[in-house]
Amino acid sequence: MNAFDQKLFDHGLTLTRATPTILQLNLGKLCNIACTHCHVNAGPHRKELITTEDLNRTLDWFETTDIPTLDLTGGTPEMHPDFRALVERVRNFDQPREVMTRLNATIIEEPGYEWIPEFHTKHKIICVASMPCYSPDNVNEQRGDNVFDRSITAFQKLNKLGYGIDPELRLNLVYNPNGAFLPPDQKELEATYKREMKEHFNIEFHDLYCITNMAIARYASYLKRNKQLDEYNQLLVENFNPASIDGLMCRDTISVDWMGRVFDCDFNQQLEMQLANGKPLDVWDIDLLKFEKMPIKTAAHCFGCTAGAGSSCGGSLT
């Protein structure tokens, strides 16, 4: 039994699946920037992208399900050459689905990507955008030079089209700590963000998601270089919160990588913890009735989801 499962056992808890409500599809590792906290190791030189054939197989399967939301991740999802065709297809299913993008706002400022604000508005794509601080230094340190200014300009463009204001054009921002500590209270930080973003940049948004940094991939290397990895992992274990279990995203999300392989979450994806049902599981082979009975694969990194207020792709859990 791993340390996380032992902790659940000690608290009399079990981690089981609920009905899937989100298909989270990672389109690949290509990104125009390379943030220090990136658990995907994405960047401008990465070549991994889902093929058109595998994308179509995934969408063929998705259309047969009742899963209401497609959550697109990367890399920067908009850099995938099939991004627009895929969104158009999903929004035009007989039973149209919500589409969410993990938006790296700086992409809007890159030549060739000027289409993004209007396209996203037309298809009412839910934008969830990283913005680890409301002041430039922290953001640039974590995400690279000029990322703050380019993100601000991009949010202003989205606001002009109604994003962050119109309830049908959701713009949610994501905060993650700029160091080896847990996020603060989400509601309190959201109020501060709203005030600062409005006052200094005239930017509005809907919700702020506080996400705990996961000590894997590039972020683990960063902590290791700073001799903080063990201390950070200990912090996560010491702050285990049993109340976070019910909301864990692995319970109702199906996570799929750029090769169609199925995982419990984006983190397990990066750790190559593919699900198997007799043989390694690809998304187009999922039988949802059987899937809901499959155990969730856990390991020590799961403490990153259960520390403090808990953490998921939709922010705090408690």
Tell me the C-alpha distance between 283 and 59, whole Å: 10
193 closest CA partner among 151, 143, 244, 235: 151
By CB under 6 A, tell whether 27 contacts ligand SF4.
no
Q: Could you tell me which stretch among 158-166, 185-193, 196-204, 260-268 binds ligand SF4 (CB under 6 A)? A: 260-268
d(CA 78, CA 14): 37
d(CA 274, CA 109): 35
Q: Which stretch binds ligand SF4 (CB under 6 A): 58-66, 87-95, 202-210, 245-253?
A: 245-253
Q: Any contact of residue 248 with ligand SF4 (CB under 6 A)?
A: yes
State the alpha helices, DSSP H only, in the chain: 3-10, 52-63, 83-91, 116-122, 136-143, 147-160, 186-201, 217-225, 229-238, 266-270, 288-291, 303-306
Q: Shortest gap between Cβ of 43 and ligand SF4 (angstroms)?
A: 6
Residue among 20, 28, 75, 132 that touches ligand SF4 (CB under 6 A): 75
CB 199 to ligand SF4: min, Å: 26
* Residue of 22, 31, 79, 154 interacting with ligand SF4 (CB under 6 A): 31
Is 104 a binding residue for ligand SF4 by CB under 6 A? The answer is: yes
DSSP states of 208-250 as a string?
Answer: EEE-PPPSSHHHHHHHHHTT-HHHHHHHHHHTB-GGGGGG-GG
Per-residue DSSP letter, 107: G
For residue 54, the tally of other CB atoms under 10 A from its CB is 18
Q: Which stretch binds ligand SF4 (CB under 6 A): 36-44, 48-56, 133-141, 150-158?
A: 36-44
Cβ–Cβ < 8 Å for 104, 116: no
Q: Which of 8, 23, 35, 152 binds ligand SF4 (CB under 6 A)?
A: 35
Residue 28 pairs in a beta bridge with 49
Residue ranges in 124-183 that form contacts with ligand SF4 under rule CB under 6 A? 130, 143
The nearer residue to ligand SF4, 16 or 64, going by C-beta atoms, is 16
Asked if residue 296 binds ligand SF4 (CB under 6 A), the reply is yes
**Site residues for ligand SF4 per CB under 6 A:** 31, 33-35, 38, 40, 42, 74-76, 104, 130, 143, 248-250, 264-265, 267-268, 296, 298, 301-302, 305
